[in-house]
Structure 1
């Protein structure tokens, strides 16, 4: 259960901080759902939800994610290479909403605080260091890559 909580917290810290306004859309951004494109330009101004459940509910609604899809992914029924763009944007949304990421940067102190009962501070800092280099062409993909890195490091 602790691992699931940290994984869910990790999802939250990756997603929402990646929403930066852009004036030119990449081909990947052009293929994103309209709600994701809008959130990428306005999420920084939105108030962060009070709880993980609030963040997840808000982001699921925003990205039109079925809760069962998320459960299937977390259980391994859906493989990372098969994850939809909408789900990657859901991860992005949750991470930003929880304050684990801002402007593409992992917010180390917030992550350490969230994980303090699961791993030692040094272990968490090492994981962050290993995973902060994960990059991609758009915020949703990059958030998802960092999430997957941290998730694999926590096992």
Structure 2
């Protein structure tokens, strides 16, 4: 999978703000930890990012959120995500919409920590509270 597509997938999935070398390293670590392949990510995107993701993809979302400091002990840290997004120049024009979306998603709970991370991510996507790929 080409790097821009990976970045776009992850921007939508994880509310990441950039796809820099450090983030690519986090992606690789989480892919190894959760046994998610690039094909899994591509299939998920091709399927319209539906909520019926495999458990390992949900755990991938959790892994990335934890490594970015946006989730700890199964709890989504909305303020940490907002603090990260406020530092991104392309996000500044949409910060009110993003804040509203993050607020709408901050108390979502799943059946386990992986499910919570995934449900929060899907909520953020639905509320357009994630960076948009260029």
Verify same fold: TM over 0.5: yes
Q: What's 2:11 paired with?
A: 6
Q: What's 2:108 paired with?
A: 134
**In 2, Cα distance between equivalents of 1:78 and 1:132:** 20
Change (3 A) 1:130 1:78: closer
**In 1, Cα distance between equivalents of 2:86 and 2:111:** 27
Q: Please, what TM-score do these two structures have when normalized by structure 1? A: 0.63
Change (3 A) 1:96 1:143: same
Q: What's 1:124 paired with?
A: 98
Q: Please, what TM-score do these two structures have when normalized by structure 2? A: 0.72
**In 1, Cα distance between equivalents of 2:45 and 2:114:** 17
**In 2, Cα distance between equivalents of 1:152 and 1:134:** 13
State the Cα distance separating 1:127 from its structure 2 match: 0.9
**In 2, Cα distance between equivalents of 1:101 and 1:117:** 23
Residues 15-58 of structure 1 deviation map (CA, whole Å, 9 limit, x = unaligned): xxxxxxxxxxxxxxxxxxxxxxxxxxxxxxxxxxx722111100
Change (3 A) 1:112 1:9: farther
Q: What's 2:117 paired with?
A: 143
**In 2, Cα distance between equivalents of 1:72 and 1:130:** 28
Q: What's 1:54 paired with?
A: 25
Structure 1 unmatched ranges of 5 or more: 14-49
**In 2, Cα distance between equivalents of 1:136 and 1:80:** 12
Tell me, what secondary structure is at the counterpart of 2:39? Answer: helix
Q: How many residues align?
A: 115
Greater relative contact order, per chain length (Cα 8 Å cut-off, separation 6+): 1
